[in-house]
A = this chain, B = another copy of it.
Amino acid sequence: MSYQIFLTIGLIAGIISIVMALYLRSIVLKQDPGNERMIEVAGYIESGAKTYLKVQYKILGAFVIVLAIALLFLPSPLENSDTYTRLTPGALNWEQATAYVIGAVGSMFAGWLGMYVGVKANTRAAQGCSVSTKKGFDIAFFGGSVMGLTVVGVALIGISILYWIVPDPNIVLGFSFGASSVALFMKCGGGIYTKTADVGADLVGKAEYDLPEDDPRNPATIADNVGDNVGDIAGMGSDLFDSYVASIIAAMMLAASIAFTRANVTMELRYYFVIYPVLLCGIGLLASLIGIFLIKWKGSEDPGKSLNAGTYIATLIFAGLSALFTFFLTLAVQETTVVAEIWRLYGASIIGLFSGIIIGFTSDYFTRDDKAPTRNMAYAAQEGHAVVILSGFSYGLLSVVPPAIGIVIAMTIAYLLGGIFGVAMSAVGMLSIVGTIVSNDAYGPIVDNARGIAEQGELGEDVISQADRLDSAGNTAKAITKGFAIGAANLTVLALLFSFKTEANLLSAGTIEIIDLLTINVLIGAFIGVVVPAFFSALLILAVQRNAAKMVDEIRRQFEENPKILTGEEAADFNRCIAIATKGSLKELLIPSIISIVIPLAVGIIFGVSALGAFLAGAILSGFVFAVFMANAGGAWDNAKKWIEDGHLGGKGTETHKASITGDTVGDPFKDTAGPSINTLLVVMSLTASIFLGLLMVFNSGAGLLVF
């Protein structure tokens, strides 16, 4: 039996997934889009989102072309049947450059399709709520699933076909780098966009003029809704797309090196190891698909529970199905010691998946309004603005500890089961059901938008409160998916780091075998690495703050110059707000995006490949701390505010409420801009290191310009 048969499973799963996505899309489009005003509002949102994406894709296009050309000339390592060689000097690296472009285009396509359906689903979900909450839920959930299925489908199809044509993981590495560089732009830009609009709308509309959320009189309302789509749908989708592909490629690279380092694995057998991660992900996708179609919310209990139930079902189906296919694979392999090893790798992937879910739960604990941390933050709001900030800051930092323990345990067990390849497989396992995760996640902004459209389309208090219920379910699911995304990205970049080191070792013929932390260049690398996530977060938050200030000025100007906007007699000029968010976010994303490629390159060239390894390790660990801290502090502040708005501790309008709004506003760029962008930053930096490894070897054989 040839290994390609198992590769086919990934390909087939990918194709099924895209077909299902298109089918769900057609279901969503068939629904009633609601009254004229709703169609109008949804149209504004759609056109705002499309405008943004168009400009974004233009810039991205230029960026991708430049990098593709650079890759073409790069002395990148390519496998040469049974040995690792560098490309012949002067030969152009067409394979990797092409794969890079395919990855970039695939990621853009997934983002575009997901958002295209998202902006259609929102008004239909709002209208659905006026029939029944269940109908609203179904439309939103299907809309979100389109994104989830597209992301995973495109990834699997791309990887399977590329590896089929050129069975060298280095090609897939190019694909992954393409996906990641797009993701970084999408995530940073989308994150800045959404929070520019959100913070601006809140600071003036809510705090100064006491307007409710999504009020049509607020000029930034539409920009805020657009932001949900570009930040939370397209941005989050490309983030998980990127982690997903990266986790697969890390495992493939490590698998490919096995034949060079282990006696019991032949070059032939090696292929089974290399495609095993692809196989598992194909099965994960099928499990996600089944999960999506098994989930039928009955309309009575908490819809958030149904979303989470989908995650559990997918997990269990995955565990069963993948055991079955692993069994088939072992039949094909036959060699006893290798069979045992594959089963241990299976175990590592299951460990990864379960630990992902556990990490999601701890995020949930730290951000739920019925648990101590968020409750205490709400109480702290009674003491004023400063105390609620201090409280959230502390609990956010505390919340880093449980997932860190979770990752350490998962990593330890996975390592004991399968060495560093086991660690990579645990990342693959964690991300195998990413289809479900992205679907649940994209559900959130759709219902959030639906709520806004229901408000602006004047569907009445009843419908709005139903949409609210769906919205709050989205927030519950989001806490878990966000923790999941961080945990998965973290394990993925660790796996990438191992693969980077293994490649460096092979390329240097054993010179770069260890990364001794207490040699000075390595220590310097680690030092710079630890600082980078802090620096990167600061740049993003400053960008949001700068843009939000412009937005605030614009909203104030509109209210002052035309008092009829506030009375509702005349419409606000929301196009100017959209323009501010679009222009600002596209301008501000450039520097953070570029440093994520330039800094690792500079470290590698100056201090050497070992220092670059330590740089990545430092960035990964400190990035984990910042990502979890910001995601959870932000989520908890948000929920503490909502809990107070539900009438606790005096409810809306009190000083306590105002203090809680301060917490929420501080948390906004934490949880939706800087925090989630760190994941992508880490993946891009890790892939940059691997892709440019061949180049780095040019400088004193990888020891760097500054040899100690």
Contact = CB atoms under 8 A, between A and B. Distances in A.
Contacts of A614: 517
Contacts of A416: 708
B666 A531 contact: no
Interface stretch (A96-104, A128-136, A519-527): A519-527
Interface in A656-708: 659, 661-663, 665-666, 669, 706, 708
A397 interface: yes
A637 to B, nearest CB: 10
Contacts of A171: none
Contacts of A517: 515-517, 522, 526, 613-614, 617
A532 to B, nearest CB: 9
Contacts of A522: 517
Contacts of A524: 408, 411-412
A501 interface: yes
Contacts of A549: 380, 383, 387
Interface in A47-93: none
Interface stretch (A250-258, A537-545, A644-652): A537-545
Interface stretch (A237-245, A337-345, A621-629): A621-629
A250 to B, nearest CB: 13
A389 B538 contact: no
A479 B629 CA distance: 27
A500 to B, nearest CB: 9
A625 B614 CA distance: 17
Chain A binding site: helix, strand, loop or mixed by DSSP? helix
Interface string A483-505: 00000000000100110010000
Most buried by B among A394, A526, A537, A618: A394
A369 to B, nearest CB: 19
Contacts of A617: 517-518, 523, 526
Interface in A447-495: 494
A166 interface: no
The oligomer's copy count stands at 2
Contacts of A545: 380, 387, 390-391, 394
A535 interface: yes
Contact of A535 (B199, B401, B523): B401
Contacts of A624: 527, 530
A390 B670 CA distance: 9
Contacts of A411: 520, 523-524
A591 interface: no
A398 interface: yes
B625 A552 contact: no
Nearest to A513: B516
A614 to B, nearest CB: 6
Interface of A: 199, 203, 207, 380, 383-387, 389-391, 393-398, 400-401, 404, 407-408, 411-412, 415-416, 420, 423, 494, 497-498, 501, 514-518, 520, 522-524, 526-528, 530-531, 534-535, 537-539, 541-542, 544-545, 548-549, 552, 613-614, 617-618, 621-622, 624-625, 629, 659, 661-663, 665-666, 669, 706, 708
The list of the 5 closest CB pairs from A to B, nearest first, reads A386-B665, A397-B538, A530-B621, A514-B516, A385-B662
